């Protein structure tokens, strides 16, 4: 499994592939809804299994807080530890960029995944509804 800090257009195409397969198709989202908040300056981590893009996430940083967003893995690669590898690489990159903590807005159904990675859920900070009811999770990065 190769983890890439996306810098090239072909890599960004891999990110779009994973998000289309893993979110738009799997959760019946609109293409516009999945991608409307993306900007040209966004940064991503992408996991490749040989030449196949299989998992990704988007990173943002504001002051000393990093945010991991749009975490997606194509269905046939879920529950194989790949998402954990992507999150760990994202944390490393955010730390290099000056983040002291990371926030992930997690679907309620995925909270245990993030808790296993050291995140703590704050159930006072909920958003969304239905399948996409979310809770904020946070993790302090080691110095």
pTM of the model: 0.93
Name the pLDDT band for 41 (thresholds 50, 70, 90). Answer: confident
Name the pLDDT band for 61 (thresholds 50, 70, 90). Answer: very high
Alpha helices in 1-142 (DSSP H): 9-19, 31-35, 82-96, 111-116
Of the chain, the end-to-end C-alpha distance in Å amounts to 27
Distance CA 94, CA 135 (A): 21
| Residue 72 predicted with pLDDT over 80 | yes
- Mean of pLDDT values over 68-89: 96
Distance CA 25, CA 55 (A): 15
For the stretch 84-121, pLDDT in tens is: 999 999 999 999 999 999 999 999 999 999 999 999 99
Name the pLDDT band for 40 (thresholds 50, 70, 90). Answer: confident
Instruction: Give the model's pLDDT for residue 131.
Output: 83
Instruction: Give the model's pLDDT for residue 12.
Output: 95
| Residue 57 predicted with pLDDT over 80 | yes
Instruction: Give the model's pLDDT for residue 122.
Output: 95
Name the pLDDT band for 129 (thresholds 50, 70, 90). Answer: confident
């Amino acid at each position: 499994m190769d983890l890439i800090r996306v810098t090239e257009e072909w890599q960004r195409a891999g990110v779009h592939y994973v998000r289309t397969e893993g979110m738009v198709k799997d959760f019946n989202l609109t293409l516009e809804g999945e991608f409307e908040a993306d900007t040209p300056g966004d940064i991503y981590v992408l996991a490749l299994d040989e030449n196949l893009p299989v998992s990704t996430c988007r990173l943002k940083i504001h002051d000393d807080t990093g945010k991991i967003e749009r975490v997606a893995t194509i269905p046939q690669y879920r529950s194989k530890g790949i998402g954990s590898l992507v999150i760990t690489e994202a944390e490393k990159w955010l730390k290099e960029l000056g983040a002291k903590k990371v926030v992930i807005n997690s679907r309620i159904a995925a909270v245990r995944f993030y808790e296993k990675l050291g995140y703590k859920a704050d159930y006072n900070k909920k958003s969304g509804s239905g399948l996409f009811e979310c809770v904020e999770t946070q993790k302090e990065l080691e110095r």
